[in-house]
Amino acid sequence: MVRLFTVATILAAFALAGATAQAQPKQGGSMVVTYKDDISTFDPAIGYDWQNWSMIKSLFDGLMDYKPGTTELIPDLAESYTISPDGLTYNFKLRKDVVFHNGRGLTSADIKYSIERSVNPETQSPGQGFFWQIAGYEAMASGGAKELSGITTPDDYTVIINLSQPDATFLHIVAINFAFAVPREEIDKYGLDFGRNPVGTGAYKMTEWLLGQRVVFERNVDYFRKGSPYLDKITFEVGQDPSVSLLRLKRGEVDVLGDPIPSANFLQEKNDPANADLIVEGGLLHTGYITLNTTEPPFDNKLVRQAINMAINKERVIKIVNGRASIANQPLPPAMPSYDPNYKGYAYDPAKAKQLLAEAGYPNGFETELYTMNTDPNPRIAQSFQQDLKAIGITAEIKSLAQATVIDAGGQGTAPMLWSGGMAWIADYPDPSNFYGPILGCGGAVPGGWNWAKYCNEEIDALAAKADGMASTDQVEARLELWRQIYNKIMDDAPWVPVMNEVRFAMHSARIGGEDTLFADPIHIPVHYEYVYDKDVQ
């Protein structure tokens, strides 16, 4: 019996060793990634695009990061951290082995400088507002103070951040790109051109940038996580038409498509058995929705909004996008904590919708306008909505316009109905509160704000503030439950018609290896650049 046990243990140990060896690929090799649009900047305080968001994550680091392939927070530049019982003081101990690409060691002053730089109005960072909870934010954001009084650095490897009120999302905030560490001397040297000459602490350093053509990342041999990243070199080719990129991938010139597989080729590629291992399906923290302007008739009437929710045939929309989405019935996408799998939502029921309209005093429907972005497939989706509305007696005129114009109409509150496709909310960080404030909260319901439904429910705003104040570790579950209730209450008011959650299909060449979760990473899109590897060098 004992003997048998020993053998089993040894076998298990071998199996474990084998698994570990497999989990640690050899370094070396390279990869080519293509994108349709150019890269605008690598400045972490500025960059906020589909392309550069994940690239910046490989060039720079923040106090916190996410476990690859998941939405689970882990310390990064911080070695450890403590949170005071009142949730107001965060004490981060920094790693001592971190050096910038220019050779200088990272200290606590760099963390303070970098966050302050994003808050400084002169930087014009789109991320400024994320740091609202740090003590002294108002004074600095308004241009008065030159630093954040809430961040102190008692020694070179300790950063203490004091908040003006508890915020349960704060660890996500120090993991966001806008909080990434940048070296002051390089910013002083390059000024506004730092975005073209990035110097960070990240796994890769940028070694070449031919404007409009390609960017080359090479492995940072001094990276503090030894043995990582795996690839020696990543070449990003920009300005590449997605259809041509697909042909190049088939010929072996390209390894990863940065953009989605082109719509025209999608079904053919997905159904091709040869691609079974090459196309990975992953969720996006995304919801596509129709906003209903709650401040203007007829959508100021809750019954009308609920009727619209029942009138929309979401099934047809999924067909329009070739099945690259799933039906949504609530604001949060399924991959987001607090998503409620038991919530039923409003079922598709045109008869009931018509009845509700009559109850609301519109038995013969009404005329309205539906705004949409003018790039495919959005006008086609809008036409599908138009048909659905017609069926319950509503005549909707489609306003198909350029992105900036639609965003403006939504912000100014001149769009009675707006389809969010093409500019919908993709989460900045994986926390339910990120889907509330700017797009459903009172704070975003101001002229120019992104709350296009102009929905402002003081009671829910108070609940949201309460939820985000629940910052201690034993409140995590209770907080997520409260958020679940908040979104259910919102759906009762029906300021939106949640329509679909986009599903991302990432395609890569056969020579690039890595767990499927790395190709469907919810944070690093399209793939986790630091953890995929080159099979040719294994």
Partner 1 sequence: MLRFLAGRLLQSAFILLGVTIITFGLLFLIPADPVRMIAGRSATPETVESIRRQLGLDQPIPVQYARYLGNLVQGDMGRSYIQKARVSELIASRLPATLQLMAAAIFLQLLIGLPAGIFASTRRNRPLDKTVMLLSFVGISAPQFVVGLLLIYVFAYKLELFPLGGYGTIWHVVLPALTLGVTIAGWYSRMSRSSMIDVLRQDYIRTARAKGVPEYRVVLVHALRNAILPIIAMIGIDIGLYAQGIVVVEAVFGWPGIGQLAWLAIQRLDIPIIMGVTLVAAVGIVLGNLLADIATSLIDPRVRHS
**Chain residues that interact with partner 1, rule: CB under 8 A:** 36-38, 40-41, 43, 46, 48, 121-122, 124, 126-130, 132, 141-143, 192-193, 195-196, 210-213, 237, 239-241, 243-244, 247-248, 251, 253, 402-405, 407-409, 411, 425, 428, 437-439, 443, 446-450
Asked if residues 242 and 260 have their Cβ atoms less than 8 Å apart, the reply is yes
Q: Which is nearer to partner 1, 60 or 533 (CB)?
A: 60
Q: Tell me how far apart the alpha carbons of residues 404 and 90 are, in angstroms, rounded to a whole number.
A: 39
Q: Tell me how far apart the alpha carbons of residues 158 and 92 are, in angstroms, rounded to a whole number.
A: 6
Q: Which is nearer to partner 1, 89 or 414 (CB)?
A: 414
Nearest distance, CB of residue 458 and partner 1, angstroms? 19
CA distances from 421 to 233, 381, 457 (A): 35, 9, 25
Q: Which is nearer to partner 1, 210 or 351 (CB)?
A: 210
How many of the other CB atoms lie within 10 Å of CB of 427?
A: 22
* C-alpha torsion 76→82→85→87, nearest 10: -30
Nearest distance, CB of residue 210 and partner 1, angstroms? 8
Q: Which is nearer to partner 1, 50 or 81 (CB)?
A: 50
Q: Which is nearer to partner 1, 51 or 220 (CB)?
A: 51
Nearest distance, CB of residue 516 and partner 1, angstroms? 28
Report the b/e string of 73-109 with b at 16+ CB within 10 A.
bebbbbeebebeeebbebbbbbbeebebbeeeebbbe
Nearest distance, CB of residue 340 and partner 1, angstroms? 24
Q: Tell me how far apart the alpha carbons of residues 353 and 307 are, in angstroms, rounded to a whole number.
A: 4
Nearest distance, CB of residue 202 and partner 1, angstroms? 20
How many of the other CB atoms lie within 10 Å of CB of 329?
A: 17
Q: Which is nearer to partner 1, 411 or 514 (CB)?
A: 411
Nearest distance, CB of residue 165 and partner 1, angstroms? 16
State residue 76 phi and psi, 5-degree precision: -125, -85
Asked if residues 208 and 219 have their Cβ atoms less than 8 Å apart, the reply is no
Strands 214-219 and 204-210: antiparallel
Nearest distance, CB of residue 405 and partner 1, angstroms? 5
State residue 351 phi and psi, 5-degree precision: -65, -45
Q: Tell me how far apart the alpha carbons of residues 80 and 69 are, in angstroms, rounded to a whole number.
A: 21
Nearest distance, CB of residue 209 and partner 1, angstroms? 10
CA distances from 293 to 158, 339, 440 (A): 48, 24, 12
Q: Residues near 279 by Cβ (< 8 Å), separated by ≥ 6?
A: 261, 269, 270, 505, 506, 507
Q: Which is nearer to partner 1, 138 or 536 (CB)?
A: 138
Q: Which is nearer to partner 1, 36 or 504 (CB)?
A: 36
Nearest distance, CB of residue 240 and partner 1, angstroms? 4
CA distances from 476 to 167, 216, 334, 416, 462 (A): 12, 41, 18, 37, 18
Q: Which is nearer to partner 1, 94 or 140 (CB)?
A: 140
In the beta sheet, which residues pair with residue 367? 395
Q: What angle do CA 96, 97, 99 make, to 5 degrees?
A: 110
Strands 367-373 and 395-401: parallel
Q: Tell me how far apart the alpha carbons of residues 504 and 145 are, in angstroms, rounded to a whole number.
A: 43
Nearest distance, CB of residue 38 and partner 1, angstroms? 6
Q: Which helix (H) or strand (E) holds 348?
A: none
Q: Which is nearer to partner 1, 346 or 455 (CB)?
A: 455
Q: Which is nearer to partner 1, 156 or 408 (CB)?
A: 408
Q: Which is nearer to partner 1, 157 or 371 (CB)?
A: 371
Nearest distance, CB of residue 245 and partner 1, angstroms? 8
Nearest distance, CB of residue 450 and partner 1, angstroms? 4
Taking alpha carbons only, the member of 265, 278, 203 closest to residue 234 is 203
